[in-house]
């Protein structure tokens, strides 16, 4: 089954003052993908792929990347949301999943998905 991995990419400070950098979030997304894979599924994580050749700090490229990610999400069977923080990008992904009645599962930590 193809699982769309929904986790933060950009750095943030959450409501409790905890800080996360892009580098932290990339490692977290990699761990999420590993958990999806370990559960026997195909992880789909455009937020790990697109920054390899698109500039997330360029608003036009970010908008295009988000649009492409939502298109890719449509080819998945489920969306798995990881972590307690929901970024703006994640909000759009979760709204799309809800709109198309795609099952959404939430895991606080990647190891919870195993």
Q: What is the SS3 assignment for 49-107?
A: HHHHCCCCCCHHHHHHHHHHHHHHHCCCCEEEEECCCCCHHHHHHHHHHHHCCCCEEEE
Instruction: List beta partners, residue 42.
Output: 2
User: What is the pTM for the complete model shown?
Assistant: 0.93
Mean pLDDT confidence for 66-86: 96
- Tell me what the pLDDT averaged over the chain comes to: 95
Question: Average pLDDT in the 72-100 region?
Answer: 96
Is residue 11 over pLDDT 90? no
Determine the pLDDT at residue 114.
72
Position 16 scores a pLDDT of 84
Looking at the structure, give the CATH architecture of the domain made up of residues 2-113: 3-Layer(aba) Sandwich (3.40)
Q: Sorting pLDDT into bands at 50, 70 and 90, what band is 15?
A: confident
């Amino acid at each position: 089954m193809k699982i769309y991995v929904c986790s933060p990419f950009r750095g943030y400070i959450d409501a409790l003052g905890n800080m996360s950098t892009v580098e932290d979030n990339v490692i977290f997304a990699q761990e999420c993908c590993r958990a999806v894979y370990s559960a026997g599924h195909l992880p789909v994580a455009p937020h790990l792929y697109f920054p390899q050749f698109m500039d997330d700090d360029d608003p036009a490229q970010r908008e295009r990347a988000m649009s492409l990610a939502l298109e890719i999400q449509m080819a998945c069977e489920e969306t798995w949301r990881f972590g307690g923080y929901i970024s703006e990008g994640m909000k759009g992904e979760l709204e799309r999943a809800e709109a198309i009645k795609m099952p959404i599962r939430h895991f606080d930590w990647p190891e919870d998905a195993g």
